[in-house]
Amino acid sequence: MSKKITSIRGMNDILPQQTPLWQWLEDKVRGVLAAYGYQEIRTPILEQTDLFKRGIGEVTDIVEKEMYTFEDRNGDSLTLRPEGTASCVRAAEEHGLLYNQTQRLWYAGPMFRHERPQAGRYRQFHQIGVETFGMDGPDIDAEVILLSARLWKALGLSDQVTLELNSLGDAEDRARYRDALVAYLREHSERLDDDSRRRLERNPLRVLDSKDAGTREVLEQAPRLEAFLNDDAREHFRRLCALLEAAGIEYRLNPYLVRGLDYYGKTVFEWTTRALGAQGTVCAGGRYDGLVAQLGGKPTPAVGFAMGLERLILLLEQQNPELPAPVALYIAAMGEVQSQALALAERLRDRLPGVGIVTHCGGGSFKSQMKKADRSGARYALILGEDEVARGEVAVKPLREDAEQQQLPETDLADWLAERLARSQA
Ligand code: ATP
Ligand code: MG
């Protein structure tokens, strides 16, 4: 026998047992996005490598070591998208969506990063993100945060997550801050971990992210970015905080929050949880007014966020929300009634849109068909034998409640089922 071929490390199959929770999550998210009037955009999974190099920044973890980059057959360098923002900006700009107008967009789909796989960190993972364009005031920053807060409520996760907030100022503020931070950290470089010492040279703001205890101690006395903010950024942040307070959104100021992507400026935020160990960030975003111009467009204010669905699924699995059963009715066909069973199912699908109906295929004993009916999760087995067909009846066997099987004329069946199924959903 030849060796079995398996999936690629860090890239997961999502099995039928798990997809109902994924669909439930995705439906809830789509519902909230629709409630804010956001519109979906779909872009290719592959882009030119330069899009991410220019968009995300050459000295970020993603571009330096996490991208899946390869040569196309004609020699072009292509990359599997590691995140959604750069593609979204590319597409919006390419199709003239950013000229003289505002946009509220969202996207969903797989992202690819060559990281060390562990719980909550994979090489193919899924994000849903929102991106807004053309609005420069703190009100839109507040709106996307309100939207995310409503999402946690819809998912029953409000108690699990907290909002952290910071302002990064503009590029000049960060440049002046970077100099001050580097000067300070150099004085204490012997107390920094190796990773931070490397970052000190390449991307010093990322040292603020370090989880190393020694480094964190050094950081306590480090200069604060807040002191370097220009008046405009300071005022923007003050107004955002006031808007969030007026809306009743709790937040924690985190001066160390810098985010791993170069394109952010002014507002940055993260929703984090303690329930997932080290992989605690479930949603992250901020303002990136410089990105559109960096990718060749006109300067365009923009705010957005992305959330990782795998981490939300891990949280939801702990909560175990009640999901609608995919199958409500299972039609058992006893004897030579296959054609009548298929026809009955079609008539019921006409009358009961949205109700999952499975017709038993392949014959078998009454017992084995009932076992399959039970395993399908259906509320009712509808049993059709030659006698039932002759009388125009169907036998209805409740599978989830203590009630007797009964014979119903098919003319009454759809109404009877509609009423029972509605009652069991309420
Ligand atoms: P982290 O600090 O956890 O590496 P990040 O800063 O790289 O996250 P972003 O690029 O901002 O994350 O992506 C937003 C969200 O996407 C994260 O908060 C997380 O929920 C999810 N995410 C990022 N990388 C992965 C991954 N490799 N596997 C699963 N989810 C991920
Ligand atoms: Mg990362």
**Domains observed in the chain:** 19-170+230-319 (3.30.930.10), 329-425 (3.40.50.800)
**pLDDT at residue 252 is higher than 80:** yes
Q: Is the CB of 177 under 6 A from ligand 1?
A: no
Q: Is the CB of 81 under 6 A from ligand 1?
A: no
**pLDDT at residue 58 is higher than 90:** no
Q: Is the CB of 33 under 6 A from ligand 1?
A: no
pLDDT at 210 (0 to 100) = 87
Look up the pTM and report it: 0.93
pLDDT at 57 (0 to 100) = 87
pLDDT at 325 (0 to 100) = 84
Contact by Cβ (8 Å): 130, 141: no
Q: Is the CB of 310 under 6 A from ligand 1?
A: yes
Residue 285 CA: nearest ligand 1 atom is: 11
pLDDT at 258 (0 to 100) = 87
- Find where tokens 């076992």 sit: 371
**pLDDT at residue 385 is higher than 80:** yes
What percent of the chain is modeled with pLDDT above 90? Answer: 89
* Residue type present at position 51: L
**pLDDT at residue 260 is higher than 80:** no
Residue nearest atom 23 in ligand 1 by C-alpha distance: 308
pLDDT at 20 (0 to 100) = 95
- Find where tokens 């795998």 sit: 310
- Residue 165's closest CA among 352, 314, 305? 305
pLDDT at 203 (0 to 100) = 84
- Return the exposure string of 323-350: e unless at least 16 CB atoms fall within 10 Å of the residue's CB, then b: eeeeebbbbbbbeebeebbeebbeebee
- Ligand 2 centre to CA of 279 (Å) is 9
- Find where tokens 């991106």 sit: 131
Contact by Cβ (8 Å): 137, 266: no
Mean pLDDT over all residues of the chain?
Answer: 95
Q: Residue 30's pLDDT band (boundaries 50, 70, 90)? A: very high
Q: Which residues are annotated as a binding site?
A: 83-85, 113, 127, 131, 259, 263-264
Q: Is the CB of 113 under 6 A from ligand 1?
A: yes
**pLDDT at residue 293 is higher than 80:** yes
Residue 61 CA: nearest ligand 1 atom is: 7
pLDDT at 237 (0 to 100) = 98
Q: What average pLDDT does the segment 378-406 reach? A: 96
**pLDDT at residue 142 is higher than 90:** yes
Q: Residue 279's pLDDT band (boundaries 50, 70, 90)? A: confident
Residue 281 CA: nearest ligand 1 atom is: 18
**pLDDT at residue 1 is higher than 80:** no
Q: Is the CB of 379 under 6 A from ligand 1?
A: no
- Find where tokens 């050094």 sit: 218
Alpha-carbon gap, residue 339 to 297, rounded angstroms? 61
- Token representation of residue 188: 């204490």
Residue 282 CA: nearest ligand 1 atom is: 20
**pLDDT at residue 289 is higher than 80:** yes
pLDDT at 199 (0 to 100) = 87
- Ligand 1 centre to CA of 209 (Å) is 14
**pLDDT at residue 50 is higher than 90:** yes
pLDDT at 211 (0 to 100) = 86
Q: Is the CB of 127 under 6 A from ligand 1?
A: yes
pLDDT at 126 (0 to 100) = 98
Q: Residue 262's pLDDT band (boundaries 50, 70, 90)? A: confident
Q: Is the CB of 121 under 6 A from ligand 1?
A: yes
pLDDT at 141 (0 to 100) = 98
| Lowest-confidence segment of 152-166, 224-238, 341-355, 412-426 by average pLDDT | 412-426
Residue nearest atom 24 in ligand 1 by C-alpha distance: 121
pLDDT at 263 (0 to 100) = 82
Alpha-carbon gap, residue 8 to 201, rounded angstroms? 34
**pLDDT at residue 28 is higher than 90:** yes
Q: What average pLDDT does the segment 233-245 reach? A: 98
Residue 306 CA: nearest ligand 1 atom is: 14
Which of helix, strand or coil describes residue 91? helix
Top mutation candidate among 83, 124, 125, 126 for ligand 1, by most atoms within 8 Å of CB: 125
- Ligand 1 centre to CA of 177 (Å) is 26
- Residue 135's closest CA among 126, 124, 143, 145? 143
- Ligand 1 centre to CA of 161 (Å) is 15
